[in-house]
């Protein structure tokens, strides 16, 4: 302590006050800096959390988009394919057939349409059950798919009926393919308990056999030829030809001879 009677000089008092003020200012400055740092740290942490949340959200969005694309692709596949055999269905086949008919109209006759039907499907279904029938259809589909070229289109129209579009063949080429399919199914598909597995094939050569203008008319013509092959005993093929229309609609005469097994103009093999 200062001696008794001692008083601080005015300058000393001001100096101590100034020093104290500096100490207080320094403390306030440190407090302010600490507060600013704390706010900056909190803001940085908030931004970091927001960035993490955005990245997680983006990742979820990518996963959702991937799932959506997968679902869309699956729906497209289901809309265009037969669920049992995995082959294109009638809808998809008719679209491709319409393109082929447009090509024929523009560039001339080319290609052929085949309609195939199993000769033994009903006995298999009746005697062995629908599960056996499904297995038979799947096996036939696999055999047909293996035999045909990548440029050919095979579809299941429904039931035990299939169709094949051959875009780049003439009548002779269609004959070779039809005969080969009949022989392949007969030899490659195991015989069922209800009988041998064979097919009947109706063939429509574009531009030569009939002026098919729509997928529906083309399929109808090939279908008629297929029933001619069935009427001949099955396990074979028949070509569609125009004279059959007149023969099919002509009224039978009492003096007329018995109708042939196949209509005029239809080649059955």
Supply the residues annotated as catalytic. 160
- Residue 108 contacts residue 206 (beta carbons within 8 Å): no
End-to-end alpha carbon distance in the chain: 135
SS3 labels along 34-86: HHHHHHHHHHHHHHHHHHHHHHHHHHHHHHHHHHHHHHHHHHHHHHHECCCCC
CA torsion sign, 120 to 126 to 127 to 128? positive
Task: Quickly tell me which residue has 């569609």 as its tokens.
Answer: 240
């Amino acid at each position: 302590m200062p001696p008794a009677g001692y008083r601080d000089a005015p300058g000393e008092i001001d100096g101590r006050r100034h020093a104290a003020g500096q100490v207080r200012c320094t403390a306030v400055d440190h407090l302010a800096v600490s507060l600013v740092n704390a706010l900056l740290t909190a803001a940085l942490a908030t931004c970091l959390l927001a960035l993490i949340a955005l990245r997680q959200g983006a990742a979820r969005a990518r996963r959702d988009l991937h799932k959506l694309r997968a679902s869309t692709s699956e729906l497209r596949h289901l809309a265009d394919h037969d669920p049992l055999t995995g082959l294109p269905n009638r809808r998809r086949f008719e679209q491709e057939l319409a393109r082929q008919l447009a090509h024929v109209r523009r560039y001339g006759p080319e290609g052929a349409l085949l309609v195939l039907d199993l000769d033994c499907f009903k006995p298999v279904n009746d005697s062995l059950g629908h599960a056996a029938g499904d297995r038979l259809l799947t096996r036939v589909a696999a055999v047909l798919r293996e035999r045909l070229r990548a440029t050919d289109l095979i579809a299941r129209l429904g039931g035990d009926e299939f169709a094949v579009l051959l875009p780049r063949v003439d009548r002779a080429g269609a004959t070779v393919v039809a005969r080969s399919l009949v022989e392949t199914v007969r030899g490659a598909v195991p015989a069922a308990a209800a009988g041998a597995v064979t097919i009947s094939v109706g063939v429509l050569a574009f531009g030569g056999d009939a002026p098919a203008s729509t997928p529906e008319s083309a399929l109808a013509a090939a279908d008629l030829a297929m029933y001619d092959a069935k009427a001949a005993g099955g396990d074979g093929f028949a070509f569609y030809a125009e004279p059959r229309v007149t023969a099919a609609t002509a009224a039978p005469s009492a003096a007329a001879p018995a109708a042939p097994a196949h209509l005029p103009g239809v080649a059955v093999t």
